[in-house]
Amino acid sequence: MSKEIIHTYKNIRQQTEAICKPLQIEDYSIQVVQFASPAKWHLAHTTWFFETFILKNYVQNYITFDADFNFLFNSYYNNVGDRILQTNRGNMSRPSTDKIYEYRAYVDAKIQELLSAISDTKIIELVTLGLNHEQQHQELLVTDIKYMLGHNPLFPVYDEDFNLIKDTNSNTESIKIKAGIYKIGHQGDDFCYDNELGVHKVYVDDFEINNHLVTNGEYLEFMASGAYSDFNLWLDEGWSWVNKNHIKSPLYWHNIEGEWHYYSLSGLQKVDKNAILSHINYYEANAYAEWKGMRLPTEFEWEIAAQQLHWGKRWEWTNSAYLPYPNFEKANGAVGEYNGKFMSNKMVLRGASVATSQNHSRPTYRNFFNPTESWQFTGIRLVK
Amino acid sequence: MSKEIIHTYKNIRQQTEAICKPLQIEDYSIQVVQFASPAKWHLAHTTWFFETFILKNYVQNYITFDADFNFLFNSYYNNVGDRILQTNRGNMSRPSTDKIYEYRAYVDAKIQELLSAISDTKIIELVTLGLNHEQQHQELLVTDIKYMLGHNPLFPVYDEDFNLIKDTNSNTESIKIKAGIYKIGHQGDDFCYDNELGVHKVYVDDFEINNHLVTNGEYLEFMASGAYSDFNLWLDEGWSWVNKNHIKSPLYWHNIEGEWHYYSLSGLQKVDKNAILSHINYYEANAYAEWKGMRLPTEFEWEIAAQQLHWGKRWEWTNSAYLPYPNFEKANGAVGEYNGKFMSNKMVLRGASVATSQNHSRPTYRNFFNPTESWQFTGIRLVK
Amino acid sequence: MSKEIIHTYKNIRQQTEAICKPLQIEDYSIQVVQFASPAKWHLAHTTWFFETFILKNYVQNYITFDADFNFLFNSYYNNVGDRILQTNRGNMSRPSTDKIYEYRAYVDAKIQELLSAISDTKIIELVTLGLNHEQQHQELLVTDIKYMLGHNPLFPVYDEDFNLIKDTNSNTESIKIKAGIYKIGHQGDDFCYDNELGVHKVYVDDFEINNHLVTNGEYLEFMASGAYSDFNLWLDEGWSWVNKNHIKSPLYWHNIEGEWHYYSLSGLQKVDKNAILSHINYYEANAYAEWKGMRLPTEFEWEIAAQQLHWGKRWEWTNSAYLPYPNFEKANGAVGEYNGKFMSNKMVLRGASVATSQNHSRPTYRNFFNPTESWQFTGIRLVK
Amino acid sequence: MSKEIIHTYKNIRQQTEAICKPLQIEDYSIQVVQFASPAKWHLAHTTWFFETFILKNYVQNYITFDADFNFLFNSYYNNVGDRILQTNRGNMSRPSTDKIYEYRAYVDAKIQELLSAISDTKIIELVTLGLNHEQQHQELLVTDIKYMLGHNPLFPVYDEDFNLIKDTNSNTESIKIKAGIYKIGHQGDDFCYDNELGVHKVYVDDFEINNHLVTNGEYLEFMASGAYSDFNLWLDEGWSWVNKNHIKSPLYWHNIEGEWHYYSLSGLQKVDKNAILSHINYYEANAYAEWKGMRLPTEFEWEIAAQQLHWGKRWEWTNSAYLPYPNFEKANGAVGEYNGKFMSNKMVLRGASVATSQNHSRPTYRNFFNPTESWQFTGIRLVK
């Protein structure tokens, strides 16, 4: 058991560093926008998580790597004390990147030591939570790096081979689900987040859900129809967002001499009409569905249909607000701040994306973002 | 039929003017904050609704009262053209209040003429919509007047006899509802809004809902426990709201020499511990429920229990986001902008308040506001 | 002496009310923008000045008209206590306009009583200061009313006969002044503000100053040359102001079907090319001078040339920052807050305008505004 | 001649790189606040200046180092085209620091080649301008680095030996200057900026100027007197600045367990009472003078007294607004944007600071900043 968890621990921790391989030192510290953190911060914060919730509590006479790091690398845990403002994460050239890698090595050694010595369910649970937490940050690392490089006028390449997935799923049939009562929520003993728990019944009516996600080509038709100027397609707040920000296309798209391009992690390239649409926010997803005379699935419909769907290529906007399941229970203390406190003004996304870590998602997984956000790899699946 | 509708028309239109009776001329034009419009604007906008959607379409050679009024008194109907910015409604000393009353008289005469002459279902439907619309604005009139006077350092009295309702409902028993499939949504031929339509089934589990609303006395205990400083009780966005705005009590509450007072429409007075709590926002409602170890009802639970509840004293925050029912259909054109486009980042409230016009609410009625808003008469009902 | 001052007092106080004659009740309370106060506020604040600095100090057992008024109608005197935020002046429908007129009558009676009974130099000095203060507010009243009505989409007429002054000064000759040492600042016993005091010598070089002010016709040429798009003409902050606010013409100008109009107090009308240009800010004045290859006068040049100039039609931007004269002395207490504390980031204007009260200006008078402001009647005189 | 200029060129260019020696790679790209640019940007922008104004114009078939750099490293020259927003300078991890050093080497080689080959007065003038420009950026480099490190919670040391200068000038006598006409402005053939030109006469009255600058100890007395809470000492905009930003001490000062410390480039240390006060803005300087019953010198008084003053330790706030001298002439094109366009809402500082490059300042040098800015080494000299 401890061998297995140590093995997993090593793999996942190394995977985070592998993501940073193509970076130059200068890339580690930049924060372009409040919601996207510097790579250095992700590397440190995920490490701080293990130090704070495990080493400080379970290792006798544990010597903190650096007393200042709690202030610098706490993300949003009020129970763990004051922290640097999120907007200021990019102001910190120090500690240096090297120092952060030292920090990682220090904590990694201590965790492995602890896991070798002790086989305590509570510790293993916390390590598992920390690893899932780290996997979430791996995805954020990729998307935050993309945001930083994609907003650099030089459009630097991150990795020549980081390809956009094409929609090889030419199967355009849809799946029909019968009305009835279904069980929703995570069952079994595998790891899941607290927001997936509380298995409960929901009634859903007959519905028919597409097996394929919307492609760039389809979205270009929507754009060509004048959709970004047609208020009737948009939610009121979506229409304000379009106008205030002069939106005319998805994030990362640039019209260069009449032709649509987008920034990808392999550089600036022409929009591939057959590839799956990405980087749209909830308002855009909703407007597209409106234009098609269809709608987005609820998160329950999605979960019920999940077994039959080809999913995993893009986070898919649902038309469900992120709210607690019946009987949702928040853990005590800092760990309880993980999910529950974000349950307002957010919409649920289901599925997984090209940036999601392997084995990290599942049919009951509830991802959530503000309706304005589109820097994740987010797409559209429609329902009739 | 036409006699009846004319009678109703007159009553409701007069009721709007009756609400304004206690106002001084200066009170009609002031806008203290973006979301609260001047009384003059409400008087004109409700009239514009009848002129625009009925008179202009159904009266031959109709002569518009004033060509500028479409720009001045359109609220948010993109389909009806440009309009003054919502923030600028309070910048307009002209047209004068007298002019607006002339406008009302002019349109009232024309509508009654039309209703006497023609008995067309479509017209009656639109008049009915206009009257329901006017009733909604009657409630806004009351709450916007309260907001304006309650933010005047002189705390002027609107009406000596506008009393807060006390919680005479000493019955503290709760109602138990059995798990099962229930029908949700408006049935029958009576008027309802489009957002109530699409009767559909939902499954709910066993629940137990309080018959009484939280009182000021109960909320004072919550405050006394230090709730406004305890981040563990709050949603993340709620905690930001508390801190950014230095919130320490509900809207309109003032601590005067150690004693809590609130502004009411009959002036500044001591907080009555037995009266029903009002003017709290969703974040406060949610935090209170958290503190009690209970929760807010979903809008479905509320609707299912409605027959057995004493309701109608305060709008009650539910824990349901304002989203379309299955099979929700938006009307074409301007009338379709009435409800659907606001379905993001809002929470549903059920019930009615002391300011709600008579016969305007019903068990299926879906009110909705941003989680930060509390200038309506809003309260808390809890569920176990 | 006391008869004379009472006479003057009555005249000036009545003049303020005469300015408000054409207003409707609704016009009295509106505040469109922070820097422009409601008419009601001006009426009350000027009265508060007499009550606070004279009646409260020099009348035994004086009974304050209303204890709340100190909070409501103090403008910026920190020494006199807390006050309502400037942005909130327009939120107050109460006290009513009638109440304010009562307040004026009450204070007027008390002041006249005091002046009849006592002949104390200090009191007469303070009354004189109060009257000059009131005259300054008379000008603000006119310009604030213009701002409110000019931003109403209906462009209401204030007074049919409030004409713009034409440039009847066809004399285009300029005045030549010889280099030398000149005395600057107010001499003699007449009233002046503290900022004019401290007569002192300045050396100025030879200069030649225009006797006429720039006309609308001349400014139209500047506009036609593309000046609002030519960064080389503008100060850096001026260029930011132009771009941020999409400025293409002076305040109150509207291009209606290809023809330039402006709002005047007698309504919307075509721009009169022969009339003197007005409502431009310092950045525009500076850019115009740059375009002409000339420059604005310093306030010293202006004062030296004043005897020979036709002035009094428009406040004239100088190229002098508003700073203390050598030996400037601030009075103690609240009265000392009158001028000195505003001596940063403002430019001096000299002259007077059509809205300036009779006998209120003089060659040594130093008016001052932010470089962005143009809601006063402000124009351009050039120097070589 | 060309040997000499090449020698100077090398020295000054190397000095810029020497300032960056103590930096870690991560330090080069961070921008904490809009007005402080990343070190990398300074290194590149000063190089861009030589490339743009000299190499592109005077070297035949010059091959631009990188076509994108004009967009990235133009600061504010509208005549040279579009540029990245100033706020976004810190968003650019690329081009890398190494690349920027390559850019410097490339341009340095070309400039030296050009200077060896051609002896053209115009070129030498432009190189001289470029070197003075670079020296200005050297000072900004130091102060921007200080700002970045001083806002890092770790308070990193830049250079252990970067000492604050103590006020060894125990001579507390003042200098008396007689009234009369004096010449102001740069004379002779040495380099100076266009804003120093236009020698002209000014008349000044008798004045007495302190030979020593205010020390930390003296400023602590001002603080201890409650000055940051006494509105009577402050200009109106200064008082707003104090309150809005909750200012209680100079920039970089921290009260740690009751004792005042400040961040210096050699780390956090206790405030040295004998050292010269630094990092205060104009409002603070003005308030201090008010508290002392003295005043700041005008820039003319300062220049007249300069020969007899010990100066060069701190930039000294004057009470003169930054405005053009009589006969000020702006050069044509981009070079003309150097100084003139900033002549609004800024105050003149005279002297030099510990961060000013050697031989860069002189008695006629006019430095200028917004009254709110204090990240330069700025101090106070008083006048009676």
Reported as a single tens digit per residue, the pLDDT across B138-178 is 999 999 999 999 999 999 999 988 765 555 555 678 999 99
Residues in chain A closer than 8 A to D40 (CB atoms): 26
Res C245: pLDDT = 97
Pairwise CB contact (< 8 Å): C323 & D326: no
Which amino acid would we find at residue A183? Answer: K
Amino acid code (one letter) for A62:
Y
Rounded Cα–Cα distance for residues A226 and A248 (Å): 9
Residue B299 has pLDDT above 90, yes or no: yes
Residue A274 within any structural domain of the chain:
yes
Measured between CA atoms, the residue of chain A closest to residue B239 is A341
Q: Do A91 and D149 touch (CB under 8 A)?
A: no
CB contact under 8 A, C91 and B28: no
Contact D282 C236 (CB under 8 A): no
Quote the pLDDT of residue D172: 74
Q: Which of A181, A236, A320 comes nearest B342 by C-beta? A: A236
Give me the number of domains chain B comprises.
2
Q: Which of B346, B348, B349, B217 is nearest to B288 (CA)?
A: B217
Q: Identify each DSSP E strand in B112-250 by its residue range.
A: 174-177, 180-184, 200-204, 207-210
Residue pairs spanning A and D at CB distance below 8 A: 85
> Which of D43, D84, D93, D151 best tests the A interface by mutation, with the highest count of A CBs <10 A?
D93
Give pLDDT tens digits for D98-147. Answer: 999 999 999 999 999 999 998 899 999 999 999 999 999 999 999 999 99
Residues A145 and A186 in one domain: no
pLDDT at position C168: 56
Q: pLDDT tens digits, residue range D222-234?
A: 999 999 999 999 9
Same domain? B145 vs B178: no
Looking at the fold, whether C99 and C232 belong to one and the same domain comes out as: no
What is the pLDDT confidence band of residue C362, given thresholds at 50, 70 and 90?
A: very high
Report the CATH number that the domain containing residue D220 is assigned in CATH. Answer: 3.90.1580.10
C158 found inside a domain: no
Residue whose C-alpha is closest to residue B234's, from A344, D315, A268: A344
Instruction: Output the CA–CA distances (angstroms, integers) from residue D50 to A117, C88, D129, D360, in the order listed.
Output: 64, 53, 9, 18
In a domain? residue A161 = no
Q: What is the pLDDT confidence band of residue D335, given thresholds at 50, 70 and 90?
A: confident
Q: In what order do the strands lie in the sheet with B347-351?
A: B367-369, B347-351, B315-321, B378-379
Place of tokens 């000064």: C169
Contact C90 B156 (CB under 8 A): no
If you average pLDDT over residues B291-314, what whole number do you get?
96
Pair (D143, D197) in one structural domain: no
CB-nearest to D235 from C79, C181, C341 is C341
Percent of chain C with pLDDT over 70: 97
Type of residue at D210? N
**Cβ(B280)–Cβ(B381) under 8 Å?**
no
Collect all residues of chain C within an 8 Å Cβ-Cβ radius of residue D321: 321, 323
**D230 shares a domain with D112:** no
Residue D202 with chain C: CB contacts under 8 Å: 202-203
Contact C148 B84 (CB under 8 A): no
Per-residue pLDDT reduced to its tens digit, C78-97: 888 888 888 889 999 999 99
Tens digit of pLDDT for each residue in B94-121? Answer: 999 999 999 999 999 999 999 999 889 9
Q: Give the pLDDT confidence score for residue D168 in this predicted structure.
A: 56
For residues C59 and C123, membership in a common domain is answered with: yes
Residue A136: inside a domain, yes or no? Answer: yes
Instruction: Give the tokens for residue C381.
Output: 């005189």
Residue A38, preceding peptide bond in cis (omega within 30° of 0) = no
- Chain B residue numbers touching C156 (CB-CB < 8 A): 94
DSSP 3-state of B49: helix
H-state helical runs in B277-322:
282-292, 299-305
Contact D201 C200 (CB under 8 A): no
pLDDT at D170 over 80: no
Same domain assignment for residues C115 and C36: yes
Q: Do C342 and D79 touch (CB under 8 A)?
A: no
Predicted pLDDT of residue B331: 78
Q: Are residues D292 and D370 in the same domain?
A: yes
Nearest-angstrom CA–CA distance, A196 and A190? 12
Instruction: Give me the residue from D40, D94, D153 closest to A84, CB to CB.
Output: D153
CB contact under 8 A, C76 and D234: no
Range of the domain at C280: 174-379
| A227–chain D nearest CA distance, Å | 30
pLDDT of residue B334: 83
The three-state DSSP-derived secondary structure of chain C is CHHHHHHHHHHHHHHHHHHHCCCCHHHHCCCCECCECCHHHHHHHHHHHHHHHHHHHHCCCCCCCCCCHHHHHCCCCHHHCCCCCHHHHHHCCCCCHHHHHHHHHHHHHHHHHHHHHCCCHHHHHHHHHHHHHHHHHHHHHHHHHHHHHHCCCCCCCCCCCCCCCECCCCCCCEEEECCEEEEECCCCCCCCCHHHCCCEEEEECCEEEECCCCEHHHHHHHHHCCHHHCHHHCCHHHHHHHHHCCCCCCCCEEEECCEEEEEECCEEEECCCCEECCCCCHHHHHHHHHHHCCECCCHHHHHHHHHHCCCCCCEEEEEEECCCCCCCCCCCCHHHHCCHHHCCCCEEEEECCCCCCCCCCCCCCCEEECCCCCCCCEECCCEC
> Which chains, if any, share at least 3 CB pairs under 8 A with chain B?
A, C
Last residue of a domain, one of A101, A116, A150: A150
Q: In this structure, are residues A298 and A321 in contact, taking their beta carbons and an 8 Å threshold?
A: no
**Residue C349, pLDDT above cutoff 90:** yes
Start-end of H helices in chain D: 2-20, 39-50, 56-58, 69-73, 97-117, 121-150, 216-224, 236-244, 282-292, 299-305
DSSP bridge pairs for A36: A33
Show residues of chain D in contact with C319, CB under 8 Å. Answer: 323-324
Q: Could you tell me if B31 and B89 are in contact, meaning their C-beta atoms sit under 8 angstroms apart?
A: yes
> Nearest CA to CA, how far is C38 from chain B (Å)?
11
Q: What is the pLDDT of residue D163?
A: 61
Q: pLDDT value at position A208?
A: 97
**Where does a domain end: C116, C150, C184?**
C150
Residues C114, C181 within the same domain: no
pLDDT at C110 over 60: yes
Q: Verify whether the Cβ–Cβ distance D24 to A94 is below 8 Å.
A: yes
Do D199 and D348 lie in a common domain? yes
Strand partners, B270: B261
Of residues B364 and A164, more confidently modeled:
B364
| A10 touches A18 (CB < 8 A) | no
Contacts of A92 in chain D (CB under 8 A): 30, 152-153
Q: Give domain status of residue B274, yes or no.
A: yes
Residue that is last in its domain, among C103, C118, C150: C150
pLDDT per residue rounded down to tens, chain A (384 residues): 689 999 999 999 999 999 999 999 999 999 999 999 999 999 999 999 999 999 999 999 999 999 999 999 999 888 888 888 888 899 999 999 999 999 999 999 999 999 999 889 999 999 999 999 999 999 999 999 999 999 999 999 999 887 655 555 556 789 999 999 999 999 999 999 999 999 999 999 999 999 999 999 999 999 999 999 999 999 999 999 999 999 999 999 999 999 999 999 999 999 999 999 999 999 999 999 999 999 999 999 999 999 999 999 899 999 999 999 998 988 788 888 888 899 999 999 999 999 999 999 999 999 999 999 999 999 999 999
Same domain, residue pair A144 and A179: no
pLDDT at C102: 98
Residue D36 lies inside a defined structural domain of this protein = yes
Chain A closest-CA separation from residue B113 CA (Å): 33
Residue B217 domain flag: yes
Cβ contact D236–C344 (<8 Å): yes
pLDDT of B120: 92
Instruction: Give the 3-state DSSP-derived string for A230-266, with helices as H, strands as E and coil as C.
Output: CHHHCCHHHHHHHHHCCCCCCCCEEEECCEEEEEECC
Interface test with C, best of D35, D195, D200, D203 (most C CBs within 10 A): D203
Closest CA to A379 of A311, A322, A321, A315: A315
Is-contact D368 D349, C-beta < 8 A?
A: yes
Length of chain B: 384
Contact C26 B24 (CB under 8 A): no
**D93 → closest Cβ in A24, A84, A91:** A24
Q: For residues A382 and D149, give the distance between their C-alpha atoms in angstroms, rounded to a whole number.
A: 51
Number of Cβ atoms within 10 Å of the Cβ of D260: 17
C-beta atoms of D84 and A25 within 8 A:
no
Q: Please answer whether residues B117 and B9 qualify as being in contact, where contact means their C-beta atoms are separated by less than 8 angstroms.
A: no
- For the stretch D258-316, pLDDT in tens is 999 999 999 999 999 999 999 999 999 999 999 999 999 999 999 999 999 999 989 99
Of D203, D231, D344, the CB nearest to C371: D344
Do A236 and A140 share a structural domain? no
- Within-domain flag for B327: yes
- If DSSP codes are grouped into helix, strand and coil, which group holds residue A18? helix
Q: Specify whether the CB–CB gap between A235 and A283 falls below 8 A.
A: yes
CATH number of the structural domain spanning residue C23: 1.20.120
